[in-house]
Structure 1
Amino acid sequence: MDFGTNPSQVPIGTSYIGGMGDFDTNLWSHPRLMAAATGEDWGTVFRTYRQLAGISQMKLGERVGLVQPDVSDIERGRRRVTSVEVRQRIISGLGIPPGIVAGAALSEALPVPALALTSPAPDEDLLARVTNAIDGCQRVDKVTLDWLDRLLAEHRRAEDTIGSRPLVDVMRQQLRTVVDLYAGARGPLEERVVRLASEHAQFLAWMAQDQGQSAAALAWYDRSHEWALEAGDADMAATTLSMKAHMAWSGGRGARCVRLAEAARWSAPGASLGVQGMAAQMEARGHALNQNGDQAHRLLDEAQELIVRAAQHPEDEPPWMYFYDETWFTLQRGMAALHFRDWQGAADHIAAGLDALPETYRRDGAWYRSCLAHALAGGGEPERAVAVAMETIPDASAIGRPHAWNELHTTAAVLMRQGGAEGRQLVDALQASD
């Protein structure tokens, strides 16, 4: 069998090395390559694969059915892989093992009764109506949608405690359930199904973002935004733009963060006060990243005023804004202070926010404790920094990857530059837990 000339015949999980017909089944265990494939960052996949395998752009193109200029454009980010057929050629040609690539087809969803295993099940009559609505395209009723609303809310809160990884497949299945219900929805319920689909897509986007899968997150946010516009949901339309702004901030792109946060506000003037406050604080964080202190502090003050007003009428806020309160905002103040190297201000705000953060927010707790450790290290308090970091390692390792985990490594680097023993102590602890 000539594997060198027919990429589609390469066994799954097998990879070329050196273009000589040899294979290395361990190539896809490389963390950088796996992370890029999981997030469908095909430019990084191509570059990393070629570096590891020692092959040219032309050779890689032969394996995935692309000409060399197309490979070059994808590597440089000038071209995106949007074709399902091209995507499959890449997966087959590079021998990407099953389970690595994000965004598995929704058609692989389990039947509705399986959802009852992950959340309190409806009564038998309701479960039958849900199943029949999907299998037989019968009409959807309000009780069915109420149950799915409740299921989504419970999964959101579960994700705060257990992290996103255990829930991704469940939520894909649940979204497929909602999409299938659309065929049987009539009148106002049809709009509600679209709105519910938008909320599920936004949650999937957030979980992809939480796992560092940027390409998948952006795709889900775009889908959520489209459905929100179709349903006339100003709150979700604005929220998806704010979350894309958050992604830009996470990637160090302050100007893009500001533009997206501004768009969240002017494009959805009917959004709730809380949603407007989220957009204002995201815009502030973009300005803080760009060291624009006056704009950042002005917008933070504006966001805080919106939060206080929103808290007076919580019934007006969408369900996914349950976390957005003054505790959360105090933590955001601390994050802005980090950008300005106001180490003491950052430590004070983050510590105050953590003291008020419920224990159920385990994933967020790991993230903000890692940021607190960074602030303490930057402020010249290495012993306190290491103590906080050590406390954070278990949760950061279990459910805080990649964000909290990376922040702990940043803290270790700060401490190492300071030359004390604390840096080496933290590095050793991180390596032992890796």
Structure 2
Amino acid sequence: MGETRADLWSHPKLVSAVATEDWGAVFRTYRQLTGLSQTKLGERVGLIQPEVSTIERGRRRVTSVEVRQRIVDRLRIPEHLLATDRPRAGSPVPALAVPGPGPDDDLLARVTSVVDGEHRVDAVTLDWFDRLLAEHRRAEDEIGSRPLVGLIRQQLRTVVDLYGGARGPLADRVVRLASEHAQFLAWMAQDQGQTAAALAWYDRSHEWALEAGDTNMAATTLSMKAHMAWSGGRGDRCVRLAEAARWSAPGTSLGVQGMAAQMAARGHALNGDADDAERLLDEAQELIGRAAQHPEDEPPWMYFYGETWFTLQRGMAALHLRDWKVAITRLTVGLAALSDDYRRDKTWYRACLAHALAEAGEAAQAASVALAAVPDAADIGRPHSWNELHTVAAVLMRRGAKEARELVAALRAYD
């Protein structure tokens, strides 16, 4: 990819890295997009190759104002991408990685004063944190989890600090908000294959949800642990955790109930239990249909849960049950309806579609779908989409398909 690429500084990963001033990520992504070596990048910004390497690996931070400005000038980073107001320690981090306005001056002063212990927290402050977290969830769909982890950790620290200034019902809201942040951090750790960290965050989120009386989040954390078990190929554990999500938190929303039923169906499909899988999928779809009639009753993290997503889940169940024709049909239909805003999910389901095509003997089409998914899988789809594409290559090689060689070469180019 040439370094004169016109949309270089519109790339989501570069935008996020610059906004958070993660210069290591800026260097890595810039080199990936332009093809520059560490030596050539160093020459451009006035650093030697070992300095570029240590910055990329996070062993050195760019603290010099002069070096920072040299990077900005010589890489021609657009001014509008740069953070003009650097938050002081302990203050909330604005939504730098997502579109939309941040807090106005009055609200920002109010949040800061609460953190400093000068005033009590109020509902307006918590409303803003709710909106901020919702924006970050949607940003993660498009740019992946890695650019957002630091931001969400900082937001969680700030939310925890808010607890000291909260009273009465507002204290419960703060704990609920902390639970939602912990659940999001768990999901991002899971997305990056960090199983132990994900389980720890899910446990913390579950504990805070129970403390705040938030049954929807308590059930969701169990469903997401079921998802982890499914990802690890543990069908029985997936079923047990999903069933626990259903009976341990009564009074949950229809959508949350549907999520739990669908997670149990995943486990049964993974075990090859077609009848139980189909029965629970039908039940989950009925719950989701009813939930769609009253979206205002669903918690904010259920925004993605609808008919399109459910069509894709039926395709995944068919994939586990080795019904390649049904898997191909449902994954194709679901992908056609899935918004481009769900870049990470599109990458995953494309890899799964390629897998189903390869198993069905459609080698040329499988390779075409897989090759188109390789760049995004390398960028935001590791380890899950990336591993699935390697599985596709293995299936094609096992079948002696000539297309396997091109896919293997493409994967190696990004390794």
Deviations 1:150-189 (A, max 9, x none): 0000000000000000000000000001000000000110
Partner in structure 1 of residue 255 of structure 2: 274
Matched, 1:326 2:307: yes
Aligned partner (choices 172, 180, 201) of residue 161 of structure 2:
180
Partner in structure 1 of residue 90 of structure 2: 111
- Residues 312 and 349, structure 2, Cα contact 8 Å, conserved in 1: yes
Give the Cα separation in 1 of the matches to 2:292 and 2:373.
30
Matched, 1:260 2:241: yes
Shift of 1:111: 3.1
What is the aligned-residue identity percentage?
76
Aligned residue for 1:264, secondary structure, equals helix
Partner in structure 2 of residue 159 of structure 1: 140
Shift of 1:268: 1.0
Equivalences for 1:13-412 in 2 at 5 Å?
110-115=89-94, 117-119=96-98, 120-412=101-393
Shift of 1:98: 7.0
Partner in structure 2 of residue 36 of structure 1: none
Letter in 2 for 1:208: A
Q: CA RMSD in A?
A: 1.3
- Residues 344 and 379, structure 1, Cα contact 8 Å, conserved in 2: yes
Deviations 1:51-84 (A, max 9, x none): xxxxxxxxxxxxxxxxxxxxxxxxxxxxxxxxxx
Give the Cα separation in 2 of the matches to 1:145 and 1:233.
16
Aligned residue for 1:139, secondary structure, equals coil
Partner in structure 2 of residue 16 of structure 1: none
- Residues 93 and 151, structure 2, Cα contact 8 Å, conserved in 1: no
- Residues 182 and 205, structure 2, Cα contact 8 Å, conserved in 1: yes
Question: Aligned pair in 2 of structure 1 residues 246, 113: CA closer, same or farther (>3 Å)?
Answer: closer
- Residues 93 and 154, structure 2, Cα contact 8 Å, conserved in 1: no
Give the Cα separation in 2 of the matches to 1:271 and 1:177.
28
Q: Flag structure 2 segments of 5+ consecutive residues without an equivalent.
A: 1-56, 60-87
- Residues 334 and 348, structure 1, Cα contact 8 Å, conserved in 2: yes
Aligned residue for 2:94, secondary structure, equals helix
Deviations 1:162-219 (A, max 9, x none): 0000000000000001000000000110000000000000000000000000000000
User: Which contiguous aligned blocks of 4+ residues in structure 1 show a shift greater than 4 angstroms?
Assistant: none
Shift of 1:138: 1.9
Aligned residue for 1:421, secondary structure, equals coil
- Residues 115 and 174, structure 1, Cα contact 8 Å, conserved in 2: no
Aligned residue for 2:240, secondary structure, equals helix
- Residues 234 and 270, structure 1, Cα contact 8 Å, conserved in 2: yes
Letter in 2 for 1:250: S
Q: Kindly tell me the number of residue pairs found equivalent between the two proteins.
A: 329
Q: Flag structure 1 segments of 5+ consecutive residues without an equivalent.
A: 1-96, 100-108
Aligned residue for 2:120, secondary structure, equals coil
Letter in 2 for 1:405: W
Shift of 1:121: 1.6
- Residues 373 and 385, structure 1, Cα contact 8 Å, conserved in 2: yes
Deviations 1:341-400 (A, max 9, x none): 111111111111000000000000000000000000000100000010011011101000
Aligned partner (choices 383, 398, 405) of residue 417 of structure 1:
398
